[in-house]
Amino acid sequence: MDGQRFSLLHYLLIHGFLSALLVTIGVKSATKSVLCSYKRSFNGFVAELTEEEARKMAGMNGVVSVFPNEKRILHTTRSWDFMGFSQQVQRANSESDVIIGVLDTGIWPESQSFNDEGLSPPPDKWKGICQDANNITCNNKVIGARYYKSNGLFGSNDIISPRDSEGHGTHTASTAAGMLVNRANLFGLGAGTARGGVPSARIAVYKICWSDGCSDADILAAFDDAIADGVDIISLSVGSATPKDYFRDSIAIGAFHAMRNGILTVTSAGNQGPRRATITIFSPWTLSVAASTIDRKFFTGVKLGNDVVYEGVSINTFDLKNETYPMIYGGDAPNLRNYTSSSSRICLVGSLDPNLVKGKIVLCDRLVSGRGPLIAGAIGALLRDNSPKDVAFSFVLPASHLDLVYGSKIFVYINSTSNATATIFKSNEANDTRAPYVASFSSRGPNPITPEILKPDLSAPGVDIVAAWSLASPVSRNRGDNRRVPFNIISGTSMACPHVSAAAAYIKSFHPTWSPSAIKSSLITTASPMSSGTNSDAEFAYGSGHLNPIEAINPGLIYDSSEVYYINFLCGQGYDTRFLGQVRRDNATCSAGTNGTLLPDLNYPSFAVFTSSSTTVRRVFNRTVTNVGSPMATYRAKVSFPIRTARVRVNPNVLSFTSVGQKLSFQVIIEGTMDAFMVSGSLVWDDGAHKARSPGGKYLLHCFLLALLTTNAASHLFQSNANANRKSYIVYMGDRLKDGASTALLHSNMVQDVFGSESKTVLYSYKKSFNGFVVDLTEEEAQKMAGMKDVVSVFPNEKRKLHTTRSWDFMGFPQQVERATMESDVIIGVFDTGIWPESLSFDDKGLGPPPSKWKGSCQFQPQDNFTCNNKIIGAKYYRTDGLFLPDDFESPIDSDGHGTHTASTAAGNLVDGASLYGFGSGTARGGVPSARIAVYKICWSDGCWDADILAGFDDAISDGVDIISISVGGGSTKDYFEDAIDIASFHAMKNGILTVISAGNDGPGRSTISNFSPWSLSVAASTIDRKFSTKVQLGNNKIYEGASINTFDLKNKMYPMIYGGDAPNTTTPSSISSRLCFSNSLDKNIVKGKIVLCDTISEGIGALLAGAAGTVIRDLNSIDYSRRFPLPASCFNLVDGRYIFQYVKFTSAPTATIFKSSEVNDSLAPYIISFSSRGPNPITPEIIKPDISAPGVHILAAWSSISPVSSIPGDNRFVTFNIISGTSMSCPHVSGAAAYVKSFHPTWSPAAIQSALMTTAAPMRSGINMEAEFAYGSGHLNPLNAKNPGLVYDANETDYINFLCGQGYATRLIQLLSEDNSTCPEDTNGTVSELNYPSFGFSTSPLKPFSRTFKRTVTNVGSPTAAYRANLRFPTGTLKIRVNPDVLSFTSVGQKLSFEVIVEGTMDKAMVSGALVWDDGEHKVRSPIVVFI
């Protein structure tokens, strides 16, 4: 059909549709609604529609899909030489016939890189045009140029032509096919010859990106033209924020049609790394490229006024000529008109006071563009944070990006020097001997839609790349930067993509008839292997390896695929014949037997198996290779794979070819059971001349924990309306006043002095254990209050979240362990949602009255029917703002269950026959059944507020508790004394109380831990040897095993099944989310009485409200623990989930039943669960956090009888014991163990108890826990050994004060904390290595020699006469570690001896860890040693 008829078709289609929909819409409005028609290469159009109109349009005959026109983002040259691809490589005569279509921000045609000298006219196949506007003309290099803006809305900085106003498109185009330009550089940096990979190739420009991003409509329009124009390769460095179904994604759609027309699309992987499954371009018909480093990096030195020089990273072309300038910390220079120090410390635009900053170098606490300091008149900026330093950025002013180690030293210098000065040097270019490795920003796999298609495909240089630039764009791409250059140095997967596009064009010039998949195969199978030691995500980071263009033109064998392969793949993915017929516009059909098993048969040049832990898997891959090497060749299969984990066989293992073009098939059979997160290797076909290498592996994915405290949406609304104009702040003033009675009056007087007659009420005063109050303030008032004498800090009253029993036996801590008679004198303060006092776990039978030290009270109302006893000896509740929500009990009674669970885990009595409907059956007990419990209810249906947390601590310290257990966290990372829990636990430590706290449920990302002060004990969550599986039987009698804790019994009855995406509730805006089964998204009339299949793990509310009989859930993530739901449910990963989806879609009357769960053994336990937050410590990286791990998965403990099993309204199951998971559950295990140690050693300090728990922890395996100590700390809790540790690393308040001095706290603040005349020692230099902590951590820079000395003192608490010898357990050949002295001889209990640990070397890995063990033959006192980048 010709293009004119297509336009008419689109007009008639939408006109007819809208006319039928709305009588008032006429021909004129329908015409306006068709914004753009795709008619040259595929069929489609852009129209303005409401959601309802879009849904109706999607149901029309002939429509494949309807999806929003979304905005995409750009994924932002010694590189060719670095890959061994020199200027003198062999070139094909037809290189000048190859056309690369670059879809980007346009081009700067005057660049020398696009000179057409020596080039003949474009090849005859070229059908494109040069859309001439604004003085842009094409030539024999840039043979075509178009621009697209379907909505017609241009920004003020946009050039309405293919001309590039941003620089990005010019850079990518020249990297791919730029001509040779000698002496290219950025102000002398990166000097050399700039060139593209195929200098003779032609460039066709398709400008799709503007100042506001890159829209789907424009991307498709460009594909439509490029395919018809005759390009050979499409290079697209653009991506999406979220993964999408293949035919709801504009790039996947465009690339599919390109593939059908013989064009390979090369795309960037994305810049959302290093988290897993962040890759957003992943269709099997595209080639996805990760970004790697080259052997060049840039350092920028900073010299302070004390002549100390620190080295950061940046591309700094400014020359301050060694002149020094005054320094200031951004947090000390807030623009008080609109900002506080919390914004100015990170140097946001407008947050800095120009009167304080002008002419100075400003220290900022975050990596920012530098515009904030520039606008404020700063001379330069130093940026410190814990983000990776593997990429250098250009800034709008002199700047250097420093790690927290150097940044903290500079911070200390500024705070300890009356006239701090510095200068910033121009950057130096240095060699990076570790290269290539994948950059931290590069998006990782696995493929979020089809995990068994390995993505990214390969990696290529994407860091510090020199290439052509637009003279309309400044170097840093920021306003206010007046530097204009013809070449620039930038980084991103956007830079990696054109390297591969050029390599693909290079292959195309030698093999013009090769298919897109043949070119892709040659690139993938010849890629250079990369090291998983440097790239911890292995193939999920770099795919098949590093681009090797020279080898790619002669791969020997190729894995070729035609359109038919991809159609069969799509059939296996659940696309039906009607749909695929519309995509292809032919009579293509899916075979009747297609059920998803065709995935292993897609002729892809890599192999991946997605499976579950401890599940035996057998997968057969069918592949066909085509001989493109020597006519007579014999290839032998060489398999490299860890034998202990899986068996890999190739059949046949010899392929003998007799002609070029001959095809031979083989099978790869992978069998085994997974005992690690990921195992990978490779298959290499080797004939002596060629090595056709394909990566292969098995992996399992961990899943994330959602918030355990369910908050009613109506409650959120109530809270937000009530507090719309209120914001409370906490004013912290250090240690308590000696006269507590006058504290409240002091607080009121302070507020009166500041605000006069204005009505300001002190909402709460802290006076028992420390000094502070809560008051409603504006940001400006808070800033004013912060400047008052005696105020340590002022910070918002933020909301925290709860971190939600065979566990004690699992740790080797049975009921019959030795107990101290003083166990009943130990009091654990539990900070949580309250308690259910009627639980048998809190019976006080056999307990005497509370110990005499107890000063607390029992706060209850007569109507509450709540009384304390000799077990629960105290109970209080806190709600500073006085706003109670409908579901809240205004008393210590627990309406949620969480607090009851944690309290009973720590100190619950023995209860025989405890279970959840028969699950977890046995004796439920706490770690210290005789200990007393003091309850401090700080959490409500809307969360846990800082003001209430502080109030609870204030009371608990004064009441006389021994251990504080708090399973709460969240919020943003804060300075120690702007964080309520850190402040409160510091004062608890001062009073001899250890605070045990949950690490958080935000894992498995790096530095997600939310509680990390050195005076508290942070606990990660590990598994026990119990897990739950729930089977689902389909109507075809196939049974799949998922995960959940399902107590419902459907008695094997089969129910109709439906896919949530096929049952949208069209009366609500949330209907588009019906496939996710969100609340109110499902149509009750369709779903009622059926089992609904959902595409993401949720709480089950949507299915429940729609009247579903049950729900089957499939999700990207593997399931490493089981959740509770308010209706029958089971969760599956995408492997089994895909089979169930295909059954539902391909069966006329699908049915299923969900069985009651089974309890099975987990032989891999203990390992750290995916949701458990990881280190390193985001404020002080060298204090290793978390400290320890303990059971936090599938824990059976007491429950509130008024909270349903799933915590979801509408669930009518009410129980006395429940099974839940979270670091909230691991925390009370350690609290109970701490109380156990305290019962034997009542005089031990908090640090001594913490040391005993950490140094006796059982070592864990980094093979299962890839983050090693950043996942599990010192290891797994071992309560039995902790009471007799042999040695302890003790610390007191003075040690922590010195630590704080080293962190840059001024003497005034230190004195407020301690309420004495404490001063910081003059020699304090910011190091944390002298804090007497029972672990050793050091953060350093890669490939930079270092030496760090740790000083420690241990106290003998074992045998009076003992000799301990130092045993170092550390990987050989990595670092040199010495202990001096290496023997400690004690002659008495309580004796203290000191030693040093010296660590020296150079780091070439992200992390190296081991341990120091002091051993006297009876005790093994173990401390981890971790060195990391």
- Spatial distance between the Cα atoms of 1409 and 1273, rounded to a whole number of angstroms: 11
3-state secondary structure of 845: coil
Amino acid at position 1171, single letter: F
Structure tokens at 1292: 């007191």
- Spatial distance between the Cα atoms of 256 and 231, rounded to a whole number of angstroms: 15
Selected catalytic residue, list 1081, 1172, 1224, 1423: 1224
- Spatial distance between the Cα atoms of 401 and 909, rounded to a whole number of angstroms: 54
Beta carbons within 8 Å of 27's beta carbon, 6+ residues apart: 15
Structure tokens at 974: 């804060």
Selected catalytic residue, list 171, 747, 898, 1419: 898
**Could you please report the per-residue DSSP string of 926-937?**
-SSTTSEEEEEE
Selected catalytic residue, list 33, 41, 79, 104: 104
Selected catalytic residue, list 164, 224, 385, 832: 832
Structure tokens at 1324: 């304090």
The answer to whether 526 touches 114, Cβ cutoff 8 Å, is no
What sections of 838-923 are H helices per DSSP?
898-907
What sections of 736-851 are H helices per DSSP?
743-755, 779-786, 806-810
In angstroms, the Cα distances linking 1336 to 685, 1185, 1269, 1275, 1350 are: 46, 11, 11, 14, 7
Selected catalytic residue, list 10, 168, 401, 901: 168
Structure tokens at 380: 């330069």
Burial degree of 725 (CB within 10 A; 0-12, 13-18, 19+):
exposed
- Would you give the DSSP letter of residue 331? G
Q: Where are the beta strands (DSSP E) in 156-294?
A: 181-186, 189-194, 202-207, 209-210, 213-215, 233-236, 238-239, 264-268, 286-292
CA nearest to 1199, candidates 770, 708, 772? 708
CA nearest to 1339, candidates 1348, 1350, 1326? 1348
The answer to whether 488 touches 472, Cβ cutoff 8 Å, is no
Selected catalytic residue, list 344, 494, 841, 1010: 494
Catalytic, 985? Answer no
- Spatial distance between the Cα atoms of 791 and 775, rounded to a whole number of angstroms: 14
Catalytic, 104? Answer yes
Structure tokens at 18: 């809208």
In the chain, how many H helices and how many E strands?
33, 70
Catalytic, 501? Answer no
The answer to whether 172 touches 182, Cβ cutoff 8 Å, is no
Question: What is the length of the chain?
Answer: 1429
How far is residue 162 CA from its own chain's centroid? 37
3-state secondary structure of 1154: strand
The answer to whether 1341 touches 311, Cβ cutoff 8 Å, is yes
Beta carbons within 8 Å of 789's beta carbon, 6+ residues apart: none
- Spatial distance between the Cα atoms of 1113 and 1138, rounded to a whole number of angstroms: 11
Q: CA end-to-end span of the chain, whole Å?
A: 60
Catalytic, 511? Answer no
Phi-psi region of 186 (alpha: psi -120 to 50; beta: other; left: phi over 0): beta
Q: Where are the beta strands (DSSP E) in 606-677?
A: 607-610, 616-627, 633-640, 646-651, 654-657, 663-673
- Spatial distance between the Cα atoms of 950 and 1016, rounded to a whole number of angstroms: 15
3-state secondary structure of 366: coil
Beta carbons within 8 Å of 827's beta carbon, 6+ residues apart: 850, 851, 853, 854, 873, 931, 932, 933, 934, 960, 961, 962, 963
Catalytic site positions: 104, 168, 494, 832, 898, 1224
